[in-house]
Amino acid sequence: MNRRKFLGAIGAAGLTITGAGKVLAGEKPVMGAAVKDVEGLPDSYAVLFDSNICIGCRQCEMGCQQENQLPEPDVDFHDPRIFEQTRRTDWKTYTLINQYDDEAPGVGWLYRKTQCMHCLEPACAHSCFVKAFSKRQDGAVVYDRKVCVGCRYCMMACPFNIPAYEYHIALDPLVTKCTFCEHRLLDGREPACVEVCPVRAMEFGTRTEMLNLARRRILDNPDMYVDHIYGEHEMGGTNWLYLSPVPFPEIGMRMDLGTTPAGNYTSGALGGVPIITAFWPVLLVGAYAIARRKDKIAREERDQYVSRMIAQAGPEVGRKLAERLSKAQELDQAAIEEEVRKALAEAAAKTESEEAH
């Protein structure tokens, strides 16, 4: 092992230990129970979207469609009527622009782009039972179409409602979402949507650079921005970051998601698995042993009782009683007592009649 390889190995091990490596592609996943605080991937790629700059031209949508060879859209990319409704991602739309002001469609001043946020701790990756989603070290949350079963739990889990599904496909439907142009990231190139934006509403760089840029913009123009970088901490942090001139809920971004990474919500429950596996047999076999012992003691007490009866009332009555009791063995205690009472009454009656003779 040469020096470089050695340092690489140390680095990989370190990443796993910090917990950020849990759902990273190629890393050994850590059980949900072992979720640690997320340090983030400071050197991974990130994009900063600025709602102050976006003009709603939808060039990014077109660029995405061409780059990823998506189907033709239902409504032309130049048709402003699209803004009459608020849209979400679907199987032919990885990214889209919505308008959030009260102006006429397409001539407003408040637009926001939607696409996968590329979470640091993605809910989709944590929820996938076949690891079809994974977080790459360069920041992209990627999808492996070759293992996806199509259970759609990722769609349930995603707090940003991003993954969509090919409901119309009969035999091999897939989950679809923005890939961060993963093929371009490998060459260090920015995603297609960023590249085609005519007004540079998006900047591309490392996550640290983008956070610093965002902070600088807020500090330099405090009147233009809400003092919040969306995605810095939301759901444990994302690789897509947002700036807005208005409170984020007004551009359709929830402020109540919290800063807890999705995986932390399930780690407690998953942590119960080893406890149950290890301790339930103890409890259950213990209960079994107690029940067995109780039966044994009951049997012993019964036998003692029978022999005492035999000693007291003579062998004939004792034999009958033992017979009845063994017949009643299957029944419960009440039935046994009933049998005992019957046998005793009979014995008493017999003694009485003998005395009378």
Partner 1 sequence: MTNQHNEHPWEVKSPWITPFNVVAALIVLVGIYLTYLRFTGGLAAVTNLDDNYPWGIWISFDLLCGVALAAGGYTTAAACYVFGIKKYHAAVRPAVLTAFLGYALVVFALHYDVGQPWRLAYPIFVQQGTTSVLFEVGLCVFLYVTVLFLEFLPAPLERLGIKRVRNIMIKLTLVLTVFGVILSTMHQSSLGALYLILPSKMHPLWYSTHLPIYFFVSSMFAGLSMVIFESTLSHRWYHNRMDKSHLEGTPHVTFGFAKAAAWIMAGYFFIKFFGVVLNNNWAYLNTFYGMIFSIEMLGFVALPAFLYIKGVKTRNIKLIRWTAVLTVFGIIFNRFNVSLVAYNYHLPSEMKYFPALAEIGVTIFVITIGLIVFKFIATRTPIFYELPEYKGSH
Report which of 106, 109, 71 is spatially closest to residue 85, judged by C-alpha positions.
106
- What minimum distance in Å lies between the beta carbon of 256 and partner 1? 7
- What minimum distance in Å lies between the beta carbon of 92 and partner 1? 12
Count CB neighbours of 1 within 10 A.
7
Structure tokens that stand for 183 in this block: 């093929």
Give the single-character DSSP code of 238.
B
Neighbouring residues of 60: CB distance < 8 A, sequence distance ≥ 6: 95, 97, 113, 192, 193, 194, 196, 197, 202
- What minimum distance in Å lies between the beta carbon of 188 and partner 1? 29
Complex with partner 1: residue 153 or 305, whichever CB lies closer? 153
- Cα separation, 225 vs 221, in Å, equals 7
- What minimum distance in Å lies between the beta carbon of 171 and partner 1? 7
Residue 218 amino acid letter: I
Complex with partner 1: residue 1 or 278, whichever CB lies closer? 278
- Cα separation, 27 vs 150, in Å, equals 23
Complex with partner 1: residue 126 or 184, whichever CB lies closer? 126
- What minimum distance in Å lies between the beta carbon of 321 and partner 1? 22
Complex with partner 1: residue 108 or 159, whichever CB lies closer? 159
- What minimum distance in Å lies between the beta carbon of 149 and partner 1? 5
Neighbouring residues of 103: CB distance < 8 A, sequence distance ≥ 6: 109
Complex with partner 1: residue 110 or 125, whichever CB lies closer? 125
Complex with partner 1: residue 155 or 310, whichever CB lies closer? 155
| Matching residue, tokens 């031209």 | 57
CA angle 265, 268, 274 (to 5 degrees): 145
Complex with partner 1: residue 186 or 291, whichever CB lies closer? 291
- What minimum distance in Å lies between the beta carbon of 355 and partner 1? 39
- Cα separation, 347 vs 312, in Å, equals 11
- What minimum distance in Å lies between the beta carbon of 12 and partner 1? 19
Complex with partner 1: residue 17 or 156, whichever CB lies closer? 156
- Cα separation, 235 vs 121, in Å, equals 8
By CB under 8 A, name the binding residues for partner 1.
22-23, 29-32, 88-90, 123, 125-132, 147-153, 155-157, 159, 161, 163-174, 254, 256-258, 262-263, 265-266, 268-270, 272-273, 276-277, 280-281, 284-285, 287-288, 291-292, 294-295, 330-332
Residue ranges in 30-133 assigned as alpha helix (H): 59-67, 123-127
No. of helices (H) and no. of strands (E), the chain = 10, 9
Residues 184 and 63: beta-carbon distance below 8 Å:
no
- Beta-sheet strands, E only, within the chain: 45-50, 96-99, 111-114, 133-135, 141-143, 164-165, 175-176, 202-206, 240-243
- What minimum distance in Å lies between the beta carbon of 161 and partner 1? 7
Complex with partner 1: residue 21 or 318, whichever CB lies closer? 21
